[in-house]
Structure 1
Amino acid sequence: MTMDVTIYHNPQCGTSRNTLALIRNAGIEPTVIEYLKNPPTREQLVKMIADTGLSVREAIREKGTPYTELGLDNPGLTDDQLLDAMLKDPILINRPFVVTPMGTRLARPSELVLDILPDTRQGPFTKEDGEQVLDAQGKRLV
């Protein structure tokens, strides 16, 4: 299937790998952007966050990042300050963001990507941790 899908991917992240595999299970080969090497522009990041309906703070990754060391847990920081930190150190951008003509999602958990993909799934899918997401007919289980 031809559909313009972009995933902001971290190959070291299991959730990101599962999301990429779910996109491919739908018969779509997405544009894969390894955002740690090629971060989005400020405008792209602002748009992605807005399109998901999340706040900037909800789009920050805390685990495995310098979030606390940088004092980003300070509730007085503005969105602009948080965005500056995310762009300076892209590991702070939560992942994976997926952009399709059907919408944008922060695919955490990975099966949230199914909400913005066509119903063209090709058989079963089980996450790396063993959780089955799609049955043999490609029907969503979770």
Structure 2
Amino acid sequence: MARSCHVPDSVDVIIYHNPDCGTSRNTLAMIRNAGIEPHIIEYLKTPPSRGMLVQLLARAGMSVREVLREKGTPYAELGLSDTSLTDAQLLDAIEAHPVLMNRPIVVSALGVRLCRPSEAVLDIIPTPQLGAFSKEDGDRVVDASGQRIAGQRHDQ
């Protein structure tokens, strides 16, 4: 399996994406709604290298455990809820089973973020939204003037 090791420059936006995930699709659509065509890495096909994942987590201010995905993964069968497991052991599990990495992770000049909920991406994309945006489920996130709508339901 190929491993991703792309390091972004100041104008890149990168999304570690799963096209089967609604949150990931909504995040990608919001990036595009800002007029940006990101570099898309389908992380299940091209997972980040161990070193890149460590860098991404450091830049996002997250621990390895915080990026672990439980639902629809071998999390339970691998015993990953065991709090005595080290970061190295958790990274080993993610390397062996990339589906354990939660998504989408977005990288821009403004930071790195696990975009759950998807509208978290609005904090790190360098350009404003070009118009209204609603998630696939109809949840309005951005109004016609490109401003974030406050007080809306924002599920993870």
Report the TM range for the smaller structure's normalisation.
over 0.9
Q: Match for 2:40 among 8, 28, 32?
A: 32
Q: Distance in 2 between matches of 1:3 and 1:79?
A: 31
- What is residue 68 of structure 1 aligned with on the other side? 76
Q: Match for 2:86 among 60, 75, 78?
A: 78
- 1:50 Cα deviation after fit: 1.2
Matched-pair contact (CA < 8 Å) for 1:3–1:28: no
TM-score w.r.t. length of structure 1: 0.96
Q: Distance in 2 between matches of 1:130 and 1:120?
A: 21
- What is residue 123 of structure 1 aligned with on the other side? 131
Q: Distance in 2 between matches of 1:95 and 1:127?
A: 16
Q: Match for 2:65 among 51, 57, 60?
A: 57
- What is residue 54 of structure 2 aligned with on the other side? 46
- What is residue 114 of structure 1 aligned with on the other side? 122
Paired residues, what number? 141
Q: Distance in 2 between matches of 1:28 and 1:116?
A: 12
Q: Distance in 2 between matches of 1:6 and 1:18?
A: 15
TM-score w.r.t. length of structure 2: 0.88
- What is residue 13 of structure 2 aligned with on the other side? 5
Matched-pair contact (CA < 8 Å) for 2:106–2:115: yes
- 1:118 Cα deviation after fit: 2.3
Q: Distance in 2 between matches of 1:39 and 1:121?
A: 29
> Do structure 1's residue 14 and structure 2's residue 22 form an aligned pair?
yes
Runs of 4+ in 1 over 6 A off after TM superposition: none
- What is residue 101 of structure 2 aligned with on the other side? 93
CA RMSD after TM alignment = 1.1
- 1:121 Cα deviation after fit: 1.0
Q: Distance in 1 between matches of 2:118 and 2:11?
A: 19
- 1:55 Cα deviation after fit: 1.1
Q: Report percent identity of matched pairs.
A: 63
